């Protein structure tokens, strides 16, 4: 029983060990797959060196066509992305600019060297990725050279020769500004500009330099003369002081010098006597040796001259023959050369004449165009402006006249209509007035006159309203001839001078109402008497 139990336990152990094999195999497979995936993903991670720009293109997210990195790294997804590098190494571009036209129409030669490179700015890196990726260095250099040439010509066209030659800082600033702005559009930045030389075809700059050099030399001469003058003055003062001190020292050393000269003369005389003796002997030996050497030299020279003359004569005979032959060939060649030169000169003159004619025609066209632009065009514009202004003025006058005529017509029509309505209303009123009078139509004028009576009285009052009477002095000596007071006679005379209402009514053929009084019959001594009641009625308006 115990034996069977042990056997079962051993079998159970063996059965458990065999079940672990597939698990271990699966684990190993997963580990290998993970390791492979890790290696694969590590290979897809791209690092960017410091002298390059990493450009990841493809599906990079957003609306960008590429993603640019300088330094660090980025993971490049397979299939949907790829990558490339753009070098940051500087490019040295030689610009052999010749014949650029300046502001004062002088052609300038400006050979220069520009150093450019891809920028690490984010915007400029994006421009470089879009425009320079996959391009060779020569292609980038050629493209940048075209841009720089154009901008350099543009800058020179805005400056005169004097500004280019004197204000180099302004010239360089304009070059840096214009060129940098244009090459930034393709992702490059300007690193350095080196203007090697500035010359012109007419040697204007050289003349300016000579003039400046001459001015500098003249200024230097003036300064040198001034310094020499100052130096001469100082030198004279120093010499004067020197002479004084030297004279003092000379007076002290004269005595010692005389003693030394006496001893020196004695010694020199002894030495000269010995030297003269040796000199005479040496001179005699020198003359003997010189004569012997001259004789040998003359003999050798004569022999050499004889051989030289023989060889020279032979060489001259051969040279004359060759020279004659050469002269004949030269003459024939000169003749052919003269013909070719004549033909070439003729063609050159014809071409020059045609070119000159074309230049003159072009200048004529330019002059005509310039005159048309500067003289004819402004005159035509001014003429057109005058015509437009005249037409506008005439149209305005016509419209104003038409408006005024319409206004006058409307005013007259309105006035006529108003007058017509007034007359119609008056006629209707008169008709009603006559109708109201019934069987006595003669009362209508009387009523109308009564209606106008206040206006008539008002006009009578105006007749004396403007009289300037400040004071009236009456010397009344008693009664008048008619028994009345003199003052009352004066006042009644003044009132009697006023226009009479009854006379006006009588002249108009109108009978006034009885309330206004009646005119008495005329008596021989008086022209007109008015009853007291009439006097009382007339007096108040006079007082007003």
Residue 224 resides in a domain: no
Q: How confident is the model at residue 534 (pLDDT cuts 50, 70, 90)?
A: very low
Tell me if the pTM is above 0.85: no
Degrees (nearest 5) of the Cα angle 93, 94, 97? 130
Residue 496 falls inside a structural domain: yes
- pLDDT value for 478: 54
pLDDT-above-70 percentage for the chain? 81
Q: Are 111 and 196 in contact (CB under 8 A)?
A: yes
Same domain, 189 and 87: yes
Q: Look up the CATH number of the domain holding residue 141.
A: 3.30.479.30
| pLDDT 10s digits, 332-378 | 777 777 888 788 788 878 887 887 888 888 888 888 888 877 788 78
248 is a domain residue: no
Do 97 and 50 lie in one domain? The reply is no
Domain count, the chain: 4
Say if residue 153 is exposed, middle or buried (CB neighbours under 10 Å; 0-12, 13-18, 19+): middle
Residue of 152, 138, 147 whose CA lies nearest to 97: 152
| In-domain check, residue 62 | yes
Instruction: Write out the residue range of the structural domain in which residue 469 sits.
Output: 452-543
Same domain, 475 and 537: yes
pLDDT tens column, 56-90 = 888 877 777 788 888 778 878 878 888 888 888 89
Cα(522)–Cα(421) distance, integer angstroms:
47
Residue 399 has pLDDT above 90, yes or no: no
Residues 38 and 49 in one domain: no
> Is 419 part of any domain?
no
**Residue 237 confidence (pLDDT):** 80
Is pLDDT above 80 for 318?
no
> Looking at the predicted structure, is the pLDDT value of residue 536 above 50?
no
Is pLDDT larger for residue 91 or for residue 246? 91
Identify the pLDDT of residue 305: 79
153-171: per-residue pLDDT in tens?
999 888 888 888 788 888 8
Closest CA to 156 of 231, 102, 226: 102
400: its two tokens: 């104003």
Rounded Cα–Cα distance for residues 544 and 58 (Å): 115
Q: Is residue 216 part of a domain?
A: no
Residues 97, 147 share a domain:
yes
Q: Output the average pLDDT for the chain.
A: 76
Joined together, the tokens standing for residue 203 give 């040697």
Q: What confidence tens digit (pLDDT) does each residue in 168-186 have? A: 888 888 988 999 899 998 8
Rounded to 5 degrees, φ, ψ at 49 are -70, 170
Q: Is residue 352 part of a domain?
A: no
* Whether residue 146 sits in one domain with residue 178: yes
Burial class of 535 by CB neighbour count within 10 A (0 to 12, 13 to 18, 19+):
middle
Asked if residue 186 belongs to a domain, the reply is yes
Instruction: Check pLDDT > 70 for residue 485.
Output: no
Beta strand 81-87 with 66-69 is unpaired
């Amino acid at each position: 029983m115990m034996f069977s139990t042990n056997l079962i336990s051993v079998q159970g152990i063996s059965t458990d060990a065999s079940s672990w094999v597939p698990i271990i195999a699966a684990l190993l497979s997963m580990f290998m797959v993970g390791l492979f995936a890790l290696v694969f993903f590590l290979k897809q991670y791209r690092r960017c060196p410091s002298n390059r720009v990493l450009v990841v293109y493809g599906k990079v997210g957003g609306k960008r066509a590429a993603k640019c990195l300088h330094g660090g790294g980025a993971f490049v997804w397979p299939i949907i992305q790829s990558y490339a590098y753009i070098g940051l190494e500087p490019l040295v571009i030689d610009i052999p600019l010749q014949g650029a036209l300046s502001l004062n129409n002088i052609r300038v030669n400006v050979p220069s060297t520009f150093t450019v490179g891809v920028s690490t700015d984010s915007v400029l890196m994006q421009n470089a990725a879009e425009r320079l990726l996959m391009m060779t260095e020569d292609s980038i250099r050629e493209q940048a050279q075209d841009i720089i040439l154009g901008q350099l010509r543009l800058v020179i066209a805005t400056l005169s020769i004097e500004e280019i030659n004197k204000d180099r800082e302004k010239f360089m600033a304009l070059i840096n500004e214009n060129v940098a702005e244009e090459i930034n559009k393709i992702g490059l930045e300007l690193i350095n500009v080196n203007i090697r030389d500035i010359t012109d075809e007419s040697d204007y700059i050289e003349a300016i330099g000579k003039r400046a050099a001459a001015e500098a030399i003249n200024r230097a001469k003036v300064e040198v003369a001034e310094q020499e003058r100052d130096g001469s003055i100082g030198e004279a003062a120093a010499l004067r002081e020197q002479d004084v001190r030297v004279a003092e020292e000379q007076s002290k050393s004269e005595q010692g010098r005389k003693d030394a000269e006496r001893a020196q003369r004695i010694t020199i005389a002894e030495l000269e006597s010995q030297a003269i003796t040796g000199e005479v002997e040496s001179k005699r030996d020198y003359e003997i040796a010189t004569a012997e050497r001259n004789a040998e030299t003359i003999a050798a020279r004569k022999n050499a001259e004889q051989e030289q003359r023989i060889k020279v004569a032979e060489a001259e005979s051969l040279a004359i023959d060759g020279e004659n032959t050469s002269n004949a060939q030269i003459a024939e060649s000169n003749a052919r050369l003269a013909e070719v030169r004549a033909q070439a000169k003729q063609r050159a003159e014809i071409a020059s004449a045609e070119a000159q004619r074309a230049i003159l025609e072009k200048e004529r066209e330019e002059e005509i165009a310039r005159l048309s632009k500067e003289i004819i065009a402004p005159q035509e514009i001014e003429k057109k402006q005058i015509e437009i202004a005249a037409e506008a003025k005439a149209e305005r006058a016509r419209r104003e006249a038409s408006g005024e005529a319409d206004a006058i017509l409307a005013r007259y029509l309105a006035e006529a209509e108003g007058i017509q309505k007034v007359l119609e209303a008056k006629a209707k009123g008169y008709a009603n007035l006559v109708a109201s009078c019934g069987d006595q139509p003669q009362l209508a004028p009387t009523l109308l006159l009564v209606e106008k009576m206040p206006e008539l009285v008002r006009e009578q009052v105006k007749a004396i309203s403007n009289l300037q009477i400040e004071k009236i002095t009456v010397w009344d000596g008693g009664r008048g001839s008619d028994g009345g007071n003199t003052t009352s006679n004066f006042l009644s005379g003044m009132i009697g001078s006023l226009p009479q209402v009854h006379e006006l009514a009588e002249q108009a053929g109108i009978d006034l109402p009885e309330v206004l009084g009646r005119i008495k019959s005329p008596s021989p001594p008086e022209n007109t008497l008015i009853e007291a009641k009439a006097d009382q009625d007339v007096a108040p308006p006079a007082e007003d």
